[in-house]
C-alpha cells in the first residue's frame, strides 16, 4: 500500500523544509493518539504547545513531524503549524478522486456521519473515509482531510460551528459533492440568537458545493423552505427526507424484535425495506437521510441497508451497556457526549419506549450554550419526562433547577451538585430491572459517571 504522505509531498503542500526523507501512514496532532508511522503536527495551544510533546510522539513511533522550530528527528520545518495542517488538508482534497459528503446539523450529525460512512464503506468494499470522533472544527476538518487515503472512493466529513461564518470557511476546504443537514434545533443559540440564524449558519455548508452538487435537507423542520432557498443558489439537485411530502420518506416504521426499527422507505427511484438496530424515532430520520445520500451518489441501496442493520452502538451517543446480575439485567444507555433540547426529547422518548423493564431512571445534566433561553429550554423538558413515564430523575447542577421546579412532586427527583454526587446517588438506587439514561452536554463530564457505574456494576457481578 502506498504511503499516506511522503516528506516531499508534505514539503510541497506546506512550503516547509524537510530535515530528511520519510514516509507516513497517518496524521495526528494529539500525542496520545500517535501510532507507529504517524505524522505528528505540533500545534500551538492555549495551554500547552505541541512542541513539548514531539519527543514523546517520536518515542511512540511517529515517523515525522511538522514543527515551527527545529527538533531531533525527521521533520518538516514551517512558519505556522496550524496553517501547514490546513495546507496539507487542501492538498489531500486536491489530489483525491473521492466523492465527498459534508454533514452538519444541530442534532444527529455525528451519528448520521457514522451511519453514512458505514453504508459507503460497505458499498465500496472498504474504501470510504470519515472524520473520527467529532473532529468538525477549524482544526478537526483539515486533520480529517489530511488523513484521507489517496485511494479513497468516498469521504464523509462532519462540519460544526458555534458562530456565523465558521461552516462557510470549513465547506470551502472540504468542497463537497453532496451536503446533508440533519436537523435544526436551538443548539448554540446563545451565540446566534434565534433558530432562524442557526438555520442560516448551517446553510453555509451549501457554499462549498462542487458544480452539479446535491443538497439533502430535513423536511421535518419549520426552516425547510429557508434551507431550500439557500440551497438553490449552489446546488443542482435538492432532496428532502422525513415525513409528509419528503422526497425520501418512511412508508412504514415499526419497532423490531431487538428494539430497533423495521422500516419500509420510499426513495426517488425505488422502495426498500430494512432494519436498524438503534432505537428511537430520531434514528428512523437519520437512516432516511443516509439512504437519500446513498441513492443520490448512485450506490446500491440494498447493500447500504445491510450496513445500517449491522451498525453498532456509538460511544456516548446511545451505546447500551447491559449488565447481567444474579437477579436480572440492568441497562445503562450512554448519551453522555452531547445534548440540546431536540436530542434530549428524542432520547427521553426512546427511554419511554423501552419494554421489559421495571423502572426508568434518567440522569440529566445541563445543556450548554443556550444563553438567555437556558431556563425556558431546560424547563421545557418536563413534558418529555412525564410523557416517557420516567420513574426517577437525577438532575445535575443549578442550570437544571428550572426543570426540577416543573417536575417536583410528579416524579421521583434527586438533585446533585456535580457528576460525582450524581454518581453516588445513582449507585445507591440501582437495582435489577432498571433502564438508565445518562445525558448532558459533553462539558458536564457524564462520561465519567458511565465509566464508573458500568465498571462497578460489572465488578460486583463478577465477584
Domains and their CATH numbers in the chain: 5-80 (3.40.1390.10), 96-310 (3.40.1190.10), 319-462 (3.90.190.20)
Per-residue pLDDT band at 278 (split at 50, 70, 90): confident
pLDDT in the model for residue 280: 78
Q: What are phi and psi of 149, to 5 degrees?
A: -60, 145
What are 218-240's pLDDT values in tens digits?
A: 999 999 999 999 999 999 999 99
**Contact at 8 Å (CB) between 81 and 52?**
no
Longest dimension (CA), the chain: 70
Classified as helix, coil or strand, 178 is strand
What are 69-82's pLDDT values in tens digits?
A: 999 999 999 999 99
d(CA 256, CA 278): 10
Nearest to 195 by CA among 259, 106, 280: 106
Residue/partner pairs of 407-416 with CB below 8 Å, 24 or more apart: 407/382, 410/386, 411/385, 411/386
What are 85-102's pLDDT values in tens digits?
A: 999 999 999 999 999 999
pLDDT > 70? residue 269: yes
| Per-residue cell: 130 | 470519515
Is 110 annotated in some ligand binding site?
yes
Nearest to 390 by CA among 353, 340, 335: 353
Is 458 annotated in some ligand binding site?
no
Q: What is the mean pLDDT of the chain?
A: 92
Angle between helix axes 281-296 and 109-123 (nearest 10 degrees) is 40
Please give the sequence-ordered ranges of beta strands (E in DSSP) within 292-349, or none if there are none.
319-325, 328-335
What are 12-52's pLDDT values in tens digits?
A: 999 999 999 999 999 999 999 999 999 999 999 767 899 99
Is 107 annotated in some ligand binding site?
yes
Query: Lowest-pLDDT range, 114-118, 257-261, 293-297?
Result: 257-261
What are 146-200's pLDDT values in tens digits?
A: 999 999 999 999 999 989 999 999 999 999 999 999 999 887 677 788 999 999 9
d(CA 203, CA 200): 5
Q: Output the pTM of the full model.
A: 0.79
d(CA 412, CA 429): 11
Is 7 annotated in some ligand binding site?
no
**Contact at 8 Å (CB) between 326 and 173?**
no
What are 337-346's pLDDT values in tens digits?
A: 888 888 899 8
Where is 426: in which H helix or E strand?
helix 419-429
What are 424-440's pLDDT values in tens digits?
A: 999 999 999 999 999 99
Is 290 annotated in some ligand binding site?
no
pLDDT in the model for residue 459: 60
pLDDT in the model for residue 297: 97
Top pLDDT among 424 and 327 is at 424
d(CA 332, CA 342): 21
What are 354-391's pLDDT values in tens digits?
A: 888 999 999 999 998 888 889 999 999 999 999 999 99
pLDDT in the model for residue 463: 43
pLDDT > 60? residue 462: no
Is 108 annotated in some ligand binding site?
yes
**Contact at 8 Å (CB) between 282 and 343?**
yes
User: Which residues, including other chains, have CB under 8 Å from residue 392's CB and lie 6 or more apart?
Assistant: 359, 360, 361, 362, 411, 412, 413, 414, 429
Give the sheet arrangement for strand 17-18, strand by strand: 17-18, 75-77, 64-67, 38-41, 26-28
**Contact at 8 Å (CB) between 445 and 342?**
no
pLDDT in the model for residue 313: 67
Amino acid at each position: 500500500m502506498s504511503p499516506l504522505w511522503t516528506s516531499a509531498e508534505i514539503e510541497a503542500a506546506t512550503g516547509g523544509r524537510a530535515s530528511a526523507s520519510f514516509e507516513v501512514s497517518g496524521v495526528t496532532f494529539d500525542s496520545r493518539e500517535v501510532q507507529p508511522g504517524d505524522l505528528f503536527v505540533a500545534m500551538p495551544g492555549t495551554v500547552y504547545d505541541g512542541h513539548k510533546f514531539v519527543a514523546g510522539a517520536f518515542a511512540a513511533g511517529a515517523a515525522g513531524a511538522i514543527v515551527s522550530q527545529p527538533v531531533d528527528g525527521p521533520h518538516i520545518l514551517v512558519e505556522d503549524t496550524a496553517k501547514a495542517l490546513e495546507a496539507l488538508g487542501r492538498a489531500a482534497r486536491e489530489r483525491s478522486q473521492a466523492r465527498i459528503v459534508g454533514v452538519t446539523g444541530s442534532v444527529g450529525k455525528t451519528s448520521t456521519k457514522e451511519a453514512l460512512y458505514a453504508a459507503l464503506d460497505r458499498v465500496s468494499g472498504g474504501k470510504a473515509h470519515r472524520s473520527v470522533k467529532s473532529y468538525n472544527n477549524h482544526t478537526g476538518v483539515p486533520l480529517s482531510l489530511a488523513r484521507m487515503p489517496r485511494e479513497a472512493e468516498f469521504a464523509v466529513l462532519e462540519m460544526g460551528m458555534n458562530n456565523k461564518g465558521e461552516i462557510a470557511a470549513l465547506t470551502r476546504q472540504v468542497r463537497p459533492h453532496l451536503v446533508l443537514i440533519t436537523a435544526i434545533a436551538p443548539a448554540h443559540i446563545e451565540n446566534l440568537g434565534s433558530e432562524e440564524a442557526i438555520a442560516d449558519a448551517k446553510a453555509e455548508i451549501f457554499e462549498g458545493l462542487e458544480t452539479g452538487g446535491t443538497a439533502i435537507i430535513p423536511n421535518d423542520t419549520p426552516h425547510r423552505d429557508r434551507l431550500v432557498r439557500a440551497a438553490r443558489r449552489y446546488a443542482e439537485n435538492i432532496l428532502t427526507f422525513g415525513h409528509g411530502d419528503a422526497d425520501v420518506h418512511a412508508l412504514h416504521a415499526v419497532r423490531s424484535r431487538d428494539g430497533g426499527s423495521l422500516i419500509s422507505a420510499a426513495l426517488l427511484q425505488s422502495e426498500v425495506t430494512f432494519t436498524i438496530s438503534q432505537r428511537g424515532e430520531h434514528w428512523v430520520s437519520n437512516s432516511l437521510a443516509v439512504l437519500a445520500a446513498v441513492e443520490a451518489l448512485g450506490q446500491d441501496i440494498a447493500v447500504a441497508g445491510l450496513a445500517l442493520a449491522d451498525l453498532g452502538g456509538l460511544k456516548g451517543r446511545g451505546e447500551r451497556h447491559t449488565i447481567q446480575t444474579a437477579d436480572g439485567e440492568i441497562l445503562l444507555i450512554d448519551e453522555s457526549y452531547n445534548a440540546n433540547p431536540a436530542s434530549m426529547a428524542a432520547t427521553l422518548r426512546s427511554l419511554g419506549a423501552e419494554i421489559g423493564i421495571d423502572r426508568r431512571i434518567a440522569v440529566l445534566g445541563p445543556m450548554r450554550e443556550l444563553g438567555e433561553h437556558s431556563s425556558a429550554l431546560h424547563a421545557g423538558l418536563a413534558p418529555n419526562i412525564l410523557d416517557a413515564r420516567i420513574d426517577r430523575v437525577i438532575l445535575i447542577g443549578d442550570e437544571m433547577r428550572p426543570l426540577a421546579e416543573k417536575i417536583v412532586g410528579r416524579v421521583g427527583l434527586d438533585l446533585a451538585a456535580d457528576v460525582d454526587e450524581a454518581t453516588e446517588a445513582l449507585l445507591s438506587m440501582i437495582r435489577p430491572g432498571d433502564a438508565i439514561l445518562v445525558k448532558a452536554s459533553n462539558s458536564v463530564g457524564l462520561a465519567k459517571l458511565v465509566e464508573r457505574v458500568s465498571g462497578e456494576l460489572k465488578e460486583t457481578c463478577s465477584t
